[in-house]
Structure 1
Amino acid sequence: MTVKTSSLVQLAFAVSLGLALTGCEQSGNSDASQGIAAAPQAKLAMAPARFAAESSAVNDGSQQSYIEEKQYLRFELPASEVQPKWKAASDQCQPRDCEILSASIQQSNQQQPSADLTVRVARDKAQAFLDNLGQNGLIESTITRQDRTAEVIDVDAKLKNLQDVRDRLRALLNQNTGSLGDVVQLEKQLGDVQARLDSATSQRAYLANQTEKVRIDMHFNTEPSFSDEGIFGPLKNVLYDSGRIFVSTLSDVLYFIIQLIPWLIVIIPASWIGLRLLRKPRRR
């Protein structure tokens, strides 16, 4: 029994050393992984299932790349077309291949309508989404890409190492040898490894969602109209500013009068009494 216990402790020590090395590797890359903290479960559920593929997969003889892509589109449309264009773009986003991150529209009698829509589309469906959206009213288009390959490889390596450590710990526990203290220590280490494994899995799912889908930000604005401004537009602006300045000045005067009224109640009687006192000596 002593030999078995000694062997179990040695194996546990080796596993603990492997876990410590994994922890050092994680801390050395903490700056890279800070921006990819675990995403909400709702978004993780929508991450593509392909994230489990090895990052070292070969594509046409070269290492697979993981690129995060974002596109920004700005449209200027007649006021009557802003809401239909925004709704058509929203309706294109089907839950299976697309998710709406944010959507808003502003309509009022005081201002022209405008709308915003942000979606994340599966990469193989992104071009079809853009084609259906059309280029009518498109005045600005921007594409930005960021290489996330190094981050994916790092997280995949962590996942593999943590899975190996977890499997070794489970094998040790299944042997049912050693003292109760050894078993408790192994279970504690197993729980720590599983927590790190869950965190790494969430990071990988987040990266998959970023690299296997394209984020598209769209802004729909009302195009400027000559009839809105007209030839008398500058004159109208001058008259408006003049009236605003006049009203503002008048309000300042009214504030001053209101603040002066309490003092007038004291000043007027005091002035009248002072004049009466000054007049009496002259009469003598």
Structure 2
Amino acid sequence: MRNWMLAAVAVLALSACEDGTETHSGNGGYLSDEDSITVTGSRTRRDTFSSTSPLAVIDAETVTEAGLVDTADIVRSVPDIQNETPEPETETYLAYRYAYGLRAPAEAVRPLVQQHQQACEAAGPSLCQIVNSNVTEAGSDRVSARLVIRAEPGWLTTFREGLEADAENAGGEVTSSSQSAEDLTRPILDTQARLDAQIQLRERLTGLLDRQGANIEELIRVERELARVNGDIESATAQLRAMRARVSMSIADLNYQSEIRPISQSTVNPVGEAIRDFAGIVLGGLAVMIRLIAGILPWLILIVPAVWLLARWRRGVNGRKAAEKAK
């Protein structure tokens, strides 16, 4: 039985080869010279194609029974149309920002700030840049400072890991820390796409300028458009450079505060200042009175005689009235 089945398979294969060499030009042909049918059923154009007769189609079960090939081999030979190549992941552009709060004795705040500032300057502008630095002293025991740096992520990681040790060596501690990230992926990709489109447009406009037979009016319009496109390219390039620089360098914002003591020099300062200002306050009040008298005295010279004359006149009038009544 096995030999008969092998013979039948061989006959069918020979018949398929003979039918496959024929050319069909009418509607009764299996496929035309111009088309082929893919696995998904869509039509794709190709230059040459050898059609296969339906007689050559043998199911997997028949071939397996004949002992020609295993079913698993047939399954493996069929391409997996569902296993599509995954799209490459889009690169993410994140701009990181770190914030730290440090507390140290008042006399150690300024040296600690200078230590961190010198570390950034020693690294060089390619690794670290100082954005802002200031120190404020509201008294001998009230000192605050702020240092903002922009640094390369690798260098900044090492710097951040040493902050706690620096604070402890200064007699203080790190009181707070936070991290945030700004996603610049979409702005960068959009700007890059717009820049590529503008560059292609510039190439086309440049080609129009080199075209033979263009009149002056057309050339002027092309040159104006080319100038506008060049301006857009420069603007997009600057924006893209700034955003990429922001991504390549992270920001660290350091805030320093002096320790608050229960009884400090600033606590008793108001009493001492009041005692020192006592004599000044008394003398200041006396000076105000002297200035007041000095301002009123000229008016008294005029007002006092006028009041005396008015009073004398009224006494004379009243005396005459009394004499007339007595008569």
Which bracket does the TM-score occupy, shorter chain normalised? Answer: 0.5 to 0.7
Gap runs ≥5 in structure 2: 1-86, 168-172, 320-327
SS of structure 2 residue aligned to 1:143: strand
Contact kept in structure 1, 2:141 and 2:265, CA below 8 Å: no
Aligned residue among 147, 154, 158 for 1:128: 158
Structure 2 partner of 1:66: 93
Aligned partner (choices 95, 98, 109) of residue 82 of structure 1: 109
Q: Is residue 130 of structure 2 the alignment partner of residue 100 of structure 1?
A: yes
Higher relative contact order (CA 8 A, sep 6+): 1
Amino acid at match of 2:223: E
Shift of 1:74: 2.0
Which amino acid counterpart does residue 145 of structure 1 have in structure 2? Answer: A
Partner of 2:147: 117
The offset of 1:272, in angstroms, is 4.8
Deviations 1:102-138 (A, max 9, x none): 2223468766443321111122332112123335222
2:80 maps to which residue? none
Q: In the alignment, which of 265, 274, 277 is matched to residue 307 of structure 2?
A: 274
CA positional deviation for 1:197:
0.4
In structure 2, the partner of 1:223 is 259
Partner of 2:229: 193
Q: 3-state DSSP class of the match of 1:65?
A: coil
Structure 1 residues 169 and 206: CA distance shift in structure 2, 3 A:
same
Aligned to 1:139: 175
Structure 2 vs 1, CA of residues 225 and 117 (structure 1 numbering), >3 Å: closer, same or farther? same
Deviation at 1:166, TM superposition (A): 1.0
User: Among the aligned pairs, what percent are the same residue?
Assistant: 19
- Over the aligned positions, Cα root-mean-square deviation in angstroms equals 3.7
Q: Distance in 1 between matches of 2:253 and 2:208?
A: 51
Larger radius of gyration: 2
Distance in 2 (alpha carbons) for counterparts of 1:145 and 1:260: 70
103-112 vs 73-82, which moves further: 103-112
Q: Pick from 118, 142, 149: which aligns with 1:91?
A: 118
How has the CA–CA distance of structure 1 residues 252 and 187 changed in structure 2, closer, same or farther, with 3 Å as cutoff? farther
Correspondence for 1:181 among 217, 220, 231: 217
Q: Which amino acid aligns with 1:129?
A: F
Alpha-carbon contact 2:100-2:255 (below 8 Å) kept: yes
Distance change >3 Å, CA 148–CA 253, structure 1 → 2: farther
2:294 counterpart residue number: 261
* Larger helix fraction of residues: 1
CA distance in 1, matches of 2:228, 2:94: 32
1: CA distance, partners of 2:134 / 2:239 = 29
TM-score (norm 2): 0.56
Residue identity matched to 1:127: T
Whole-angstrom CA distance in 2 between matches of 1:62 and 1:248: 76
Give unmatched runs, 5+ long, in structure 1.
1-59
2:48 matched residue in structure 1: none
Give a deviation string over 1:229-267, Cα, whole Å, max 9, x none: 59xx4x764776799899779867855763563333223
Deviations 1:51-106 (A, max 9, x none): xxxxxxxxx95322222222222211123322222122112222111211122234
Report Cα offsets for 1:178-205 as digits up to 9, x if no partner: 1233223222211110110000011111
Paired residues in the alignment total 222
1:152 aligns with 2:193: no
Amino acid in the other structure paired with 2:294? I
